[in-house]
Amino acid sequence: MALVFIVDDEENMCKVLKFCLEEDGHEVRYFTDPIDALAKLRDLYSIASVRPRPEIIISDLKMPKMDGIVFLSELKKIDSQTPLIIMTAYASVQNAVEAMKEGAFDYILKPFEPDELKLLIKKALEHTRLIEENASLKSNSDEVDFIGSSPAIKNVLDMITSVANSKTTVLITGESGTGKELVARLIHNSSDRKKNPFIKINCAAIPDTLLESELFGHKKGAFTGATSDKIGKFELADNGTIFLDEIGDMNLNLQSKLLRIIQERQFEKVGCNKSITVDVRIIAATNQNLQKMITEGAFREDLYYRLNVFPIKIPPLRERKEDILPIAEHFVKEFNCEFKKNVLKISDEMKAFMLNYSFPGNVRELSNMIERAMILARGNEINISHFDKNDFYSSVPAEHAGESQPHTAGEAHFKSGDGEMSDASLEQIERQHIIDILKSTNWHKGRAAEILKIDRSTLYRMLKKYNITLKE
Ligand SMILES: Nc1ncnc2c1ncn2[C@@H]1O[C@H](COP(=O)(O)OP(=O)(O)OP(=O)(O)O)[C@@H](O)[C@H]1O
Ligand SMILES: [Mg+2]
């Protein structure tokens, strides 16, 4: 059954309808002032809100403070999906027709029998269900669910809301797996550029020699192998957003070209001296410490200040433990759909484990943990037996694990084959571990990244860092 909002200046009418619809199992809230209703809706439809939104809105047409048609057009600005049913007396049926043209779902003439309204509601709910079904059949890749109610995440959401509709350059920082890409997409999706492209480029995954032509494009014949003209990502992102992921991996030469495009919004294709002007919003992300890189001469200070106009720092999951269970439950729902399962519960023991665990791989690791448990689960509960604790980087409670130290794979409790702690350096261990895993997957990077519980781009970065050439 549905959450229904009723808007009618006559309180008695609201009460009668509420009574009837509650009889049918619906949950009802009513507003005698359409302005209050709109304020409530604005609040519910802000991205930070996690409270349920109405599935149907029923509004009177003639109200002293605001006409039903105006209410409808204001509602459409907040949310264009929720069906609105207009109630009207016979005399103003012409207005009801007008309302339909403006996008009302249907109208009902007063006085009416409760059953008539109940039927309309059923029709509207069915309509929404079909739309949702259709949407999920299409790719829902640009749908973004950003879960979390910790003060830290609320703060991130507030920042997203305030920066989304400007062209301000945003720099997102945070450990691997904290949700940097998700935040970048959320900024784009909440902006007035959302209908235009969101183009992502992973600066770590593309060899330095190709990155320039990926970003700016090239003319046919510009270099060996350039057999045709290529449009670069900046041009593709015109009027939209470009997401420069792993910006810390860009070499100094390209950094200066990027600086120019930020300053002048102009660039040239490789092998061509005609300038191209674009209107692009830039979002960059990194899990590296750019300030440290500046002192080491590896990152341009002037570029840093150009990118860091609006910094968003996403804290690691272990510093916002109240988000762990809501995010875990969100993944359970997602995997229920994906694996056609019906897991309803995470056992208390597993919850306790998760709350005590330091999640060096952050949300991505939590997702892997739930995914694996769901694959193994047979009933409708996942519990501690559905995952091997030793599989996780560290089962040391975060309180004892040196919270301020960023963890990387293999950092905690790495043991050599015979069970003795190795006295090799952490980096040596990490390098060897990566090579071992790559060997075990026959150098399949995707599989290796999965086993290491890092994403491909992190793996690429590590390969670069440790100078591992494929087929060592
Ligand atoms: N708050 C959140 N709510 C729901 N899902 C989340 C949240 N944060 C992260 N995720 C999910 O966790 C995974 C990792 O997030 P994402 O790829 O955005 O991290 P990242 O910071 O870009 O990591 P990396 O530095 O390794 O590239 C994704 O599947 C993302 O959808
Ligand atoms: Mg990322």
The alpha carbon of 180 and the centre of ligand 2 are apart by a number of angstroms equal to: 6
Angle of the 362-376 helix axis to the 324-339 helix axis, nearest 10: 50
Report yes or no: 36 and 63 within 8 Å, Cβ to Cβ: no
The alpha carbon of 301 and the centre of ligand 2 are apart by a number of angstroms equal to: 23
- Greatest CA span in the chain, whole angstroms? 88
Mean local confidence (pLDDT), 389-397:
46
Smallest Cα–Cα separation from 355: which of 390, 313, 395, 297?
Answer: 395
Among 126-135, 310-319, 366-375, the range with the most confident prediction by mean pLDDT is 310-319
Please state which of the ranges 51-65, 192-206, 251-265, 430-444 shows the lowest mean pLDDT: 430-444
Nearest atom in ligand 1 to the alpha carbon of residue 176 is: 25
Report yes or no: 413 and 358 within 8 Å, Cβ to Cβ: no
Q: Is 131 helix (H, G, I), strand (E, B) or coil?
A: helix
Distance between CA atoms of residues 200 and 211, nearest Å? 13
The pLDDT tens digits of the residues spanning 332-342 come to 998 888 887 88
Q: How many Cβ atoms sit within 10 Å of the Cβ of residue 328?
A: 22
Q: What is the b/e burial string over 366-381, where b = at least 16 CB atoms within 10 angstroms of the residue's CB? A: bbbbbbbbbeebeeee
Give DSSP secondary structure letters for 413-437.
Answer: S---TTSSPP-S-HHHHHHHHHHHH
Proximal ligand: closest to the CA of 368: 1
Which domains does the chain show, CATH number per domain?
3-137 (3.40.50.2300), 151-315 (3.40.50.300), 321-404 (1.10.8.60), 415-472 (1.10.10.60)
Distance between CA atoms of residues 394 and 404, nearest Å? 15
The alpha carbon of 326 and the centre of ligand 2 are apart by a number of angstroms equal to: 21
Please state which of the ranges 97-111, 324-338, 428-442, 455-469 shows the lowest mean pLDDT: 428-442
Please state which of the ranges 121-135, 247-261, 368-382, 399-413 shows the lowest mean pLDDT: 399-413
